[in-house]
Every structure is written in structure tokens, then in C-alpha cells.
Amino acid sequence: MAALTHPIRSALRGARQGAAGDRRVELALGAVASTVLLLCAGMVVFVVLKAWPSFEANGLGWFASASTDEQLGEIFKSPSNPDQYVYEFGAWALIWGTLLTSGLAVVIGVVFAVFTAVFIVEFAPSKVNRVLVPTVRLLAAVPSVVYGLIGILVLVPLAAEVLVTTERKESVAYFVQLTGACWLVAAVILSIMIVPIMISITVDALRAVPRSWTEGAAALGVNRWRVITTISVRAARPAIIAGMILASARALGEAIMLSMVAGSAAWAPNPLDGFTFFLEPVRPLASTVVESAEGLSVEPFGQTIYAIAAVLLVSSAFLSWAGWFAKRSMRRYGIEPGGATQ
């Protein structure tokens, strides 16, 4: 028979245990949450540390223009003596390729996204909306390798047949091969991939514009298109910017689709080539990392690749913080950004 302890004392002990238990739980949960933070910090630290020799050896020239593929080859063939490691590297071709593909994708994407968002919110009959809204979510769910597959098996040969004429090929034959796998096709596919993010943010923001404004504008005799553009889209500008930032972060990090479609040559397309400029191949930063994965065991090569990853990490971290900031400032206007961002 358990001893009948004094009721008050056992209650107090239970409460103390409860409070102590509570504290233990709080510490345990907090510890787990902090490991997430440590993971982030660790990621930045380790990647930059591993990448440091490459930055140190090249200084700011790391970002300069050079024949990148040849340099990578030289680095890979470095002798195994650490004193004789080759580090010389200029990543401008890769950076320019990234800027071109992501930039064009975001520009095409934002125009498309704003028109589609306006359509969804204002002009689409409800039957069309019932198809369109799930379709946008579906586009976000398609894996990037599937986009890449369709790109490389359908769009690239199409570009090769239709856009790459013999004379264009010859005009740049000395420098680079035009195979139809080019940054234009890559940017178009990339824009399809990032459009759903921007559409969902913009739709939420358009719907959050106070009805008193839109009704007041309609009552002044302004037609529906003008009301939406001059009042709603104007009020949703911060949201559109936030969507563009988040979409850029996504576009920057896309490796697989771009490595399949963009041509895999570390070449900086030259705008002075006219239309052929669009048909030249590139290999953005992320794709370079994916394609060079086998060579990571060679020390200087690995460090160079980690340097590229470090640049990606820092720029995407910066963009996602900026996007998060922008989304939080949207809350000041009373707009609740919806659901999960892909």
C-alpha cells in the first residue's frame, strides 16, 4: 500500500516537478530549434572555409572574365603536391550566364504573372478559374528534371531546327557551337517554373486591396481594367516586388534543368552578335556545380567548386532574406501572404 503522503506536500512536489518538467521541455525544444540555426551558420562557415583558398589565390579576379572551361581543366589536372595547386580562375562567364537566364526568366515571368493574376482576380469567369487556379499549383509541383527532359527532347531540337541557321552557326563557329541548347530556351522554361510563385503572391495581394477603393474608383466612372491597374496593382506593388525577389532566388538555384537545356559551355554570350546572342550556350553557376560533382576529390578543383557554391549560397541567402523582409512589410498593408512558397 503506497504511503499516504501529506496531500499538500505531494501537490507541491507535483507542481515543482511540473514546472521543472516544463523548463526541461522548453530547453529541449529550444536546443533543437537552435541546431537549425547552427546548421545554417555551419553551412556558411564550412562552405566558405573550404572555398577560401580559391578566393585567396584569385582575389577579385575570381569574378573576372577568362576562358573558364580551360581554367577548370587546368585546375583539375593540378599535380598532387599542395604547393603546386593551380587555382587560377575567372568565373565571369558563369556569372554572366546566371544573370542572363535568371534575369530574362524573371522579366518574362513577372509580366506573365501580373497579367495572369489580374485575370484570375478580375476577369476570369468562375468556370475558367476553377481550372486555372489548380493548374497554377500544378505547375509548381512539376519536378525540375521533367522540365529539363521536355526542354532537351522537344524545345532544344525545335530551336536547333528553326532558329539556328547555318549562317548563324558559322558566324560564331570559331568560338562556340550552336546546338539549339541555348540560354533563351533555358530562360523561357525557367520563367514557366517561377511563374507560380509570383502568381500566388500577386493574387493574394490583389484580393487584399480594400473594397472601398475599388468600389470608389468604379463609382467614378472608370472602367474595370483601369480600376485594377491604377488602384489594385499599384497598391500591390510591394507584393509584386517580393514575388520577384523570391522568384529570383529560385531561378538562381536551379541547377538540373539548366544543365540539361542551357548548353553546358562556360561561354559568356556577346550581345553584339545580334540575334545569335540569344542562341549561344551558357552554363550558370549552379549547373557548373552539378556537372563538376565527380571531380570534387581533386583538392583544388573541389575548392574552386566550393567557391562557386559559396557565391551561390551568399547571393541566395541575401535574396531570400530580402524577399522575406518584403513579405513582412506587406503585412503592414494588411496583406497576408498565403501558403507555402515553392
- Map the footprint of other proteins across residues 230-289, applying CB under 8 A: 230-231, 234-235, 246, 249, 252-256, 259-260, 264, 286, 289
Residue pointed to by grid coordinates 475599388: 214
Count residues contacting other proteins (CB under 8 A)?
108
Task: Give the binding range for other proteins (CB under 8 A) out of 66-74, 80-88, 168-176, 309-317.
Answer: 309-317
312 near 166, Cβ under 8 Å? no
Among 99, 149, 160, 163, binds other proteins (CB under 8 A): 149
Contact with other proteins (CB under 8 A): which of 5, 10, 12, 43? 43
Least CB distance from residue 123 to other proteins, whole Å? Answer: 5
Q: Is 207 in the site for other proteins (CB under 8 A)?
A: no
Tell me: does residue 48 bind other proteins (CB under 8 A): no
Burial (CB count within 10 angstroms: exposed 0-12, middle 13-18, buried 19+), residue 282: buried
- Angle ∠(158,265,84) on CA atoms, nearest 5: 165
Of 36-44, 75-83, 98-106, 164-172, the segment contacting other proteins by CB under 8 A is 36-44
State the sign of the Cα–Cα–Cα–Cα dihedral 285, 290, 291, 295: positive
Q: Find the shortest distance in angstroms from Cβ 101 to other proteins.
A: 14
Closest approach of other proteins to the CB of residue 174, in Å: 25
Residues in the chain: 342
Tell me how far, at minimum, the Cβ of 281 lies from other proteins, in Å.
13
**Could you tell me the sign of the dihedral formed by the alpha carbons of 186, 192, 193, 199, in that order?**
positive
Residue (of 200, 134, 206) closest to 338 by Cα position:
200
Alpha-carbon span 201 to 109, nearest angstrom: 13
CB of 171 to other proteins, least distance (A): 25
Footprint of other proteins on residues 69-88 (CB under 8 A)? none
Is residue 336 at the binding interface for other proteins, with CB under 8 A as the rule? no
Give min distance, CB of 65 to other proteins, in A.
23
Grid cell 522537344 in the structure block, residue: 154
Give just the sign of the alpha carbon dihedral 183, 188, 193, 199: positive
Q: By CB under 8 A, is residue 34 in contact with other proteins?
A: yes
Helix (H, G, I), strand (E, B) or coil at 263: strand
Smallest separation (angstroms) from other proteins to the CB of 167: 26
**Binders of other proteins among 93-132, rule CB under 8 A?**
112, 115-116, 118-120, 122-124, 128, 131-132
Least distance between other proteins and beta carbon 111 (Å): 8
Contact 267, 91 (CB under 8 A): no
Q: Are 46 and 309 in contact (CB under 8 A)?
A: no
52 touches other proteins by CB under 8 A: no
3-state secondary structure of 36: helix
12, 40, 64, 107: which one contacts other proteins (CB under 8 A)? 40
Q: Does 10 bind other proteins (CB under 8 A)?
A: no
C-alpha cell at 328: 513582412
User: Can you tell me the distance from the alpha carbon of 309 to that of 48, in angstroms, rounded to the nearest whole number?
Assistant: 9
Q: Please give the Cα distance from 129 to 159 (Å, whole number).
A: 33
Which range binds other proteins by CB under 8 A, 75-83, 86-94, 200-208, 209-217? Answer: 209-217
Q: For residue 16, with 0-12 CB atoms within 10 Å meaning exposed, 13-18 middle and 19 or more buried, which class applies?
A: exposed
Stretch that binds other proteins, among 61-69, 83-91, 164-172, 225-233 (CB under 8 A): 225-233
Q: Which of 76, 290, 299, 329 binds other proteins (CB under 8 A)?
A: 290
Residue closer to other proteins, measured from CB, 155 or 171: 155
